[in-house]
Amino acid sequence: MRAFVSRYPVLIFVLLTLAYQFVVVGVVWAKLAPGEHISTNEVAHMIFRLRAFGPLLFAVMITFYLEGKTGMRKLFGAFFHWKVPAIWYGLAFVWKPLFTYIGIAAIAILGIRAWPGFVVENFFGGNFVNLGHLMKNMPFIIGIAIVEETAWMKFSVTRLQDRYKALPACLLAGTAWGLWYLPMLLIGEGVPDGYPWHMFMLSMIALTILLSWAYNMTRSGTILLIMQIISNCGFFMLPVLPGLWNGDPTYINGFVTVNMLSAVAIVLIFGWREMGRRTRAKWSDLDAEHISDPEAKEDFIVTAA
């Protein structure tokens, strides 16, 4: 059994995670009456919350089963690696707004739609209701960012990069990550209304490539965590969701297009094999200090200084 799990840890993780997700969402769907929203059904809402931590649960279980405490250090240690060049923090904070504004600016310049504004209504002014929604959801946003960075990036991508080159690893992990959201898209809960499923899948693959590139370059879970939090916060304040425009997905499609173009640029510039200036991050190369090769570690310290 251990040999089988050790050979196919990501496959087992994905199967367990997707099965758990479909079961939880299926139970929630069965609890809801026709036309009922999850927010009005307390039992369904409580059950629905459980699905968010499935990926972390299975990543931890498999890692501890295979490697014990050493695996736990490898799984969570990157969160404490924050000493990277300041430019990475700048990128982590601005990437989502930047990509979004480029997308909607192109739409406005081409005359497809009018400029929608920089932020949603009542965020920085008015009754501040949307700012309040963001603050209310911030603990969950941070929690899900920790789950996603740990389960999909650190556990899945680095293990896949042991076996495959960087781009195939990202395509596999990004597709699985997108499928994790699929049942929520099908019932219209937990994801923005009107988000075309195929554009959502492309966006998740592009996000995986962007995050993998950042991790391959920095080995910093801190950077990835910030990027995830900014990503999850973005749609609370950026005026692109279809629900704000009577279901029109034009603006969100613009963002996804820019996101995909950035992923293509990363692959073309940094190469599909490593997607970085150095060897891609592999699970087998990571020790408690994230880099097992002393020469690579010394090189990274010099680069990050």
End-to-end CA distance of the chain: 44
pLDDT for the residue 297: 43
Of 143, 139, 135, 145, nearest to 225 by C-alpha is 145
| The pLDDT of residue 231 | 92
Dump pLDDT digits (tens) for 59-71. Answer: 999 999 999 999 9
pLDDT at 301: 36
Number of Cβ within a 10 Å radius of residue 136: 11
- Tens digits of residue pLDDT in 142-194: 999 999 999 999 999 999 999 999 999 999 999 999 999 887 776 666 677 78
Average pLDDT, stretch 36-43? 78
Q: Model pTM? A: 0.90
pLDDT-derived band of residue 299, with 50, 70 and 90 as boundaries? very low
Q: How crowded is residue 69: how many other Cβ atoms within 10 Å of its Cβ?
A: 9
pLDDT band at 296 (very low <50, low <70, confident <90, very high): very low
**What is the pLDDT confidence band of residue 303, given thresholds at 50, 70 and 90?**
very low
Residue ranges per structural domain of the chain: 78-304
Q: What is the pLDDT of residues 4-29, one digit of tens each?
A: 999 999 999 999 999 999 898 888 88
Per-residue pLDDT, 289: 43
Q: For the stretch 97-131, what's the b/e string if a residue is b when 16 or more beta carbons lie within 10 angstroms of its beta carbon?
A: bebbbbbbeebeeeeeeeebeebbeebeeeeeebb
Average confidence score pLDDT of the chain: 89
